[in-house]
């Protein structure tokens, strides 16, 4: 049975659940805020922001075509949304979900699929799961005409290679059309997929903001109903202070859409958004990897406060915080060139990214470019290790062009191992963003990277400032002052 193969569906839930804050005062966008509009997205400096104009237009056409057509046309268009597991991915997915619903796609035609722990949309196992789901929801053929299924991948990263799903399934009885919505750095994309990416349109927005701006003109209820969802993803990936909405001196546009988001922040409050982000991220960090519970909480919420009051999410966050505290006690070791601080943790929880962020706020040095945290116990396959890398927080204050590119740095260390290293570790190495990257690779290959590529010494360590450490040095010497 299909139900035994896939997570319990949330997609048949009645769409009467609230999508805007019931008890909050609504922003008065037609008055003072709108008077401050300076920029128009798609024009002038912002002609290709948040993504190339032709790609935005094509994505909107894709969304509108997902609506169920008249049965006489011979096509049914069930749509599968495949969001990433974090706050940005989940909020992006719900923006698409709400938009498809508003466009008239019935709830039984919208399906949400979550990637299994340790897998990616590029994994053979996930391709198989999604192909089975596409066949199951297609509804079969109508009078001999092929059925069509649409799949939208959002915030999953991207890479070149074969199609994410075969364009024809079930001996040609099902046509599959795919769209990738993403903001992660990539030069190549899967064959056959329509692509909407923000990675070449600085300042690079989050997937939630990209989805929001793409859906903004499609239906009149979307701008207000989904504004807080866009903010969840922004706060999740960029933090609460990266975008100053309406700042004429800032790097971001002062447009109608961005001013609306600024007004929404004043209604729902930054603290509530930040708390909601940490709670939504908690389930996927547990060993149980219960992304479904985070989605269910988000789907039923009418604003961030509903999420912050969710007792189950708060319980899970408490578990995560305890594990982060335990793992943050690990001590760093440094590469020979002083560029890398490596910390080793051992946890079934996905805490390595959080530990990396914590240490990035503390470590500082003349040569230090990357904090790397490796975790051999998170991935279900004991032969694989997961690692996360972040730039020191002190370097985030410099211009983006002057910040280190961690993806290039990792590839440089890979070249020092041997010529075949990148081929052996595959596409799950140095994925993500220039200043926040990581991967999942075989443990034996990781040890080669550490010893031959980075030349991290097993016993002695190196001070952050590049000088030698004598036997009397204490761990406080590795911390930034103030």
> CATH number of the domain that 59 lies in?
3.90.1640.30
Among 15, 25, 21, 2, residue whose Cα is nearest residue 94: 15
| Residue 221 maps to a domain | yes
Q: Which residues pair with 334 in a beta bridge?
A: 341
Contact 25, 303 (CB under 8 A): no
Tokens 């990637």 locate to 115
The DSSP call for residue 462 is B
The reply to whether 267 falls in a domain is yes
Same domain? 276 vs 344: no
Q: Same domain for 276 and 378?
A: no
Tally of domains within the chain: 2
Is 327 inside a domain boundary? no
Bond from prior residue into 50 cis (ω within 30 degrees of 0): yes
Cβ proximity of 122 and 191 under 8 Å = no
Indicate if 414 and 458 belong to the same structural domain: yes
The answer to whether 342 touches 334, Cβ cutoff 8 Å, is yes
Kindly state the tokens that stand for 61. Answer: 């056409």
Q: Give me 133's structure tokens.
A: 């789901």
Residue 195 shares a structural domain with residue 58: yes
Whether the CB-CB separation of 173 and 182 falls below 8 Å is answered with no
- Token pair 């603290």 is at which residue? 271
**Does residue 321 lie in a domain region?**
no
88: its two tokens? 């940005």
274 and 405 belong to one structural domain: no
Residue 355: phi and psi, rounded to 5, are -65, -40
Report d(CA 296, CA 396) in Å as an integer: 34
Residue 132: per-residue pLDDT:
94
Contact yes or no for 45/39 (Cβ under 8 A) = yes
* DSSP letter assigned to residue 428: G
User: Is position 145 within any domain?
Assistant: yes
The confidence score (pLDDT) of residue 173 equals 85
Angstrom distance (rounded) from CA 157 to CA 181: 9
**pLDDT score for 147:** 86
Say whether both 279 and 352 belong to one domain: no
> What domain range is 453 assigned to?
333-478
User: Pick from 286, 305, 324: which residue ends a domain?
Assistant: 305
Instruction: Note whether 301 and 348 are same-domain residues.
Output: no
pTM for the full model? 0.84
Helices (H), 103-165: 124-137
The C-alpha angle 69, 121, 178, rounded to 5 degrees, equals 25
H or E, element range at 222: helix 222-225
Beta bridge partners of 375: 386
Q: In the chain, count H helices and then E strands.
A: 17, 12
DSSP class of residue 331 equals: P
Residue 295, in any domain of the structure:
yes
End residue of a domain, out of 261, 286, 305: 305
The pLDDT score that the predictor gives to residue 68 is 60
Q: Check residue 144 and give its pLDDT.
A: 59
Instruction: Determine the Cα–Cα distance for residues 196 and 479; give it in Å rounded to an integer.
Output: 41
User: Are 223 and 354 found together in one domain?
Assistant: no
CATH classification at residue 383: 3.10.310
Quick one: pLDDT at residue 143?
55
479: exposed, middle or buried (C-beta count within 10 Å: 0-12, 13-18, 19+)?
middle
Residue 50's nearest CA partner among 182, 193, 229 is 182
- Which of 305, 325, 351 is the last residue in one of the domains? 305
Q: Is residue 297 part of a domain?
A: yes
CA distance 377 to 375: 6
348 and 257 housed in the same domain: no
**Judgement on whether residues 285 and 364 belong to the same structural domain of the protein:** no
168 and 272, same structural domain? yes
DSSP-assigned states of every residue in 299-328: HT-SSHHHHHT-HHHHHHHHHHHHHHHHHT
Each residue's pLDDT expressed in tens, for the chain with a length of 482 residues: 333 333 333 433 333 334 444 444 444 444 445 568 999 999 999 999 999 999 999 999 999 999 865 444 444 589 999 999 999 999 999 999 999 999 999 999 999 999 999 899 999 999 999 999 999 998 755 455 678 999 999 999 888 888 999 888 878 889 999 999 999 888 889 899 999 999 999 999 999 999 999 999 999 999 999 999 999 999 999 999 889 898 888 899 999 999 999 999 999 999 999 999 999 999 999 999 999 999 999 999 999 999 999 999 999 999 999 999 999 999 999 999 999 999 999 999 999 999 999 999 999 889 999 999 999 999 999 999 999 999 999 998 888 888 999 999 999 999 999 999 999 998 899 988 889 999 999 999 999 999 999 999 765 444 344 344 333 334 454 455 44
Q: How far is CA 220 from CA 107, 109, 216, 225, 443, in A?
A: 19, 22, 8, 9, 51
Please tell me whether residues 351 and 301 are part of one structural domain. no
- Quick check: is 320 in a domain? no
Nearest to 175 by CA among 206, 145, 130: 145
Q: Which residue in 160, 196, 204 sits closest to 178, CA to CA?
A: 196
Distances (CA, A) of 271 to 35, 66, 262: 27, 36, 14
């Amino acid at each position: 049975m299909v139900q035994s193969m896939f997570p319990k569906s949330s997609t048949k839930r009645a769409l009467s659940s609230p999508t805007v804050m019931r008890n909050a005062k609504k922003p008065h966008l037609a008055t003072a805020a709108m008077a401050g509009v300076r920029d128009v997205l798609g024009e002038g400096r912002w002609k290709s922001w948040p993504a190339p104009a032709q790609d935005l237009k094509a994505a909107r056409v894709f969304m509108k075509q997902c609506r169920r057509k008249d049965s006489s046309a011979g096509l049914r268009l069930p749509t599968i949304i495949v969001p990433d597991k974090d706050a940005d991915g989940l909020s992006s997915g719900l923006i698409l979900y709400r938009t498809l619903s508003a466009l008239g796609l019935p709830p039984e035609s919208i399906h949400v699929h979550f990637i299994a722990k340790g897998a990616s949309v590029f994994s053979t196992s996930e391709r198989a799961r999604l192909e089975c789901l596409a066949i199951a929801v297609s509804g079969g053929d109508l009078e001999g005409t092929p059925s069509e299924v649409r799949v939208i991948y959002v915030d999953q990263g991207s890479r070149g290679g074969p199609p994410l799903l075969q364009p024809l399934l079930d001996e040609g009885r099902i046509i599959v059309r795919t769209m990738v919505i993403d903001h992660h750095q990539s030069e190549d994309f899967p064959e056959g997929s329509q692509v909407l990416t923000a990675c070449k349109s600085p300042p690079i927005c989050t997937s939630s903001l990209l989805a929001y701006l793409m859906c903004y003109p499609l239906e009149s209820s979307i701008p207000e109903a989904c504004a807080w969802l866009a903010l969840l993803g922004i706060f999740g990936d960029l933090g609460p202070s990266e975008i100053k909405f309406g700042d004429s001196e800032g790097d971001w546009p002062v447009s109608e859409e961005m001013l609306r988001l600024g007004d929404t922040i004043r209604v729902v409050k930054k603290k509530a958004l930040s708390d909601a982000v940490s709670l939504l991220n908690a389930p996927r960090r547990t060993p149980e990897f219960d992304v479904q519970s985070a989605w269910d909480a988000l789907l039923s919420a009418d604003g961030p406060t509903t999420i912050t009051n969710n007792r189950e999410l708060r319980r899970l966050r408490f578990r995560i915080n305890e594990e982060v505290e335990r793992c943050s006690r690990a001590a760093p070791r440094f590469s020979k060139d002083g560029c890398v601080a490596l910390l080793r943790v051992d946890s079934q929880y996905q805490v390595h990214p959080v530990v990396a962020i914590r240490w990035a706020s503390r470590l500082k040095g003349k040569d230090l470019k990357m904090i790397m945290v490796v975790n051999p116990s998170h991935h279900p396959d004991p032969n694989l290790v997961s690692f996360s890398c972040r730039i020191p927080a002190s370097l985030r204050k410099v211009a983006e062009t002057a910040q280190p590119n961690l993806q290039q740095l990792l590839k440089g260390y890979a070249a020092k191992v041997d010529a075949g290293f990148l081929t052996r570790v595959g596409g799950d190495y140095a994925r993500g963003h220039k200043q926040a990257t990581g991967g999942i690779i075989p443990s034996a290959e990781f040890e080669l990277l550490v010893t031959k590529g980075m030349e991290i010494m097993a016993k002695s360590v190196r001070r952050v400032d590049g000088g030698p450490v004598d036997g009397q040095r204490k761990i406080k010497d590795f911390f930034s002052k103030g």
